[in-house]
């Protein structure tokens, strides 16, 4: 599968990005993949290539582009438990600077770019997020219900809060089918119930499940949180969702 380094024009500059796609000269359904807090790196490229192997054009933007091209901070090949807190401390100002306003402005640019790529087929796209990317993906799907047919999120950062713009308050705007895969420590039972109630009330076709025995970050093979069994389960759920929404499968 080929990959391509790209520059996406945005209102605030140009976001560097990675694209992965089948090498067959055909057009394929588009997938916008939002990174976890550790950013655009080889582990994300591997995930994009896996999806491309199943027949999708996958765009992975560096959402921290305002602070420089990826990798925005220096990362080790493996992010172990002992160094994770120090890395998160470096990243926290970037995470906090990525406001809802910036998320929505960037989402407009990313979707416009993705849907006009020559390798992307007409029709709806999917949005996927990991960690902080789930928040971003949900906001993107809620802001673009006419374009986003599938929304998937894994080991999310908090989705339920008292804030007026808490992600769970946006689900009434969704038209996408949704799958959320949670680690055991991602959300309290009360928050899960509140999110589920919001999705049910909005009539959103969704699944929300806890992946047993997992910790936050379980899909990422370059971290101590990685769980191979849970990652396989994540691929099963994700590919099923994409097949039902983008590929015409039942």
pLDDT tens across 103-135, in order? 999 999 999 999 999 999 999 999 999 999 999
Q: What contacts 228, CB < 8 A, 6 or more positions away? A: none
Confidence label for 1 from pLDDT (cuts 50, 70 and 90): confident
| Cα 62 from chain centroid (whole Å) | 12
Name the residue among 157, 204, 202 with its Cα closest to residue 34: 157
What pLDDT score does 249 carry?
44
d(C-alpha 61, C-alpha 84), whole Å:
23
pLDDT at 185 over 50: yes
d(C-alpha 146, C-alpha 162), whole Å:
28
Confidence label for 248 from pLDDT (cuts 50, 70 and 90): low
What pLDDT score does 229 carry?
98
Q: In the chain, which ranges are continuous DSSP H helix?
A: 42-53, 84-97, 100-115, 132-143, 189-202, 228-245
What pLDDT score does 80 carry?
97
pLDDT at 230 over 50: yes
For residues 176-186, give the mean pLDDT. 97
* Domains of the chain (ranges, CATH numbers): 3-245 (3.40.50.1820)
What pLDDT score does 250 carry?
38
d(C-alpha 153, C-alpha 135), whole Å:
8
Could you report the per-residue pLDDT of 25-76, keeping only the tens digit for each? 999 999 999 999 999 999 999 999 999 999 999 999 999 999 999 999 999 9
Could you report the per-residue pLDDT of 11-27, keeping only the tens digit for each? 999 999 999 999 999 99
Q: Report if pTM > 0.85.
A: yes
């Amino acid at each position: 599968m080929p990959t391509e380094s790209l520059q996406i024009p945005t209102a605030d500059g140009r976001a560097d990005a990675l694209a992965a796609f089948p090498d067959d000269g055909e057009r394929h359904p588009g997938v916008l993949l939002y990174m976890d807090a550790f950013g655009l790196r080889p582990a994300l490229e591997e995930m994009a290539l896996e999806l491309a192997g199943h027949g999708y054009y996958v765009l992975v933007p560096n959402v921290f582009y305002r602070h420089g091209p990826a990798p925005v901070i220096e990362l080790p090949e493996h992010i172990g438990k002992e160094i994770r807190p120090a890395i998160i401390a470096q990243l926290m100002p970037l995470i906090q600077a990525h406001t809802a306003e910036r998320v929505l402005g960037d989402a407009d640019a990313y979707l416009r770019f993705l849907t006009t790529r020559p390798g992307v087929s007409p029709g709806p796209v999917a949005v996927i997020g990991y960690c902080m990317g789930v928040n971003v993906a949900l906001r993107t799907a809620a802001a673009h219900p006419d374009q986003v047919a599938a929304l998937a999120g894994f080991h999310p950062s908090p989705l339920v809060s008292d804030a007026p713009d808490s992600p769970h308050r946006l689900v009434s705007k969704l038209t996408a089918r949704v799958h959320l895969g949670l680690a055991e420590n991602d959300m309290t039972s009360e928050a899960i119930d509140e999110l589920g109630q919001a999705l049910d009330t909005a009539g959103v076709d969704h699944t929300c499940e806890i992946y047993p025995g997992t910790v936050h970050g379980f899909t990422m093979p370059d971290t101590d949180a990685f769980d191979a069994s849970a990652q396989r389960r994540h691929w099963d759920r994700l590919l099923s969702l994409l097949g039902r929404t983008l590929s015409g499968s039942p």
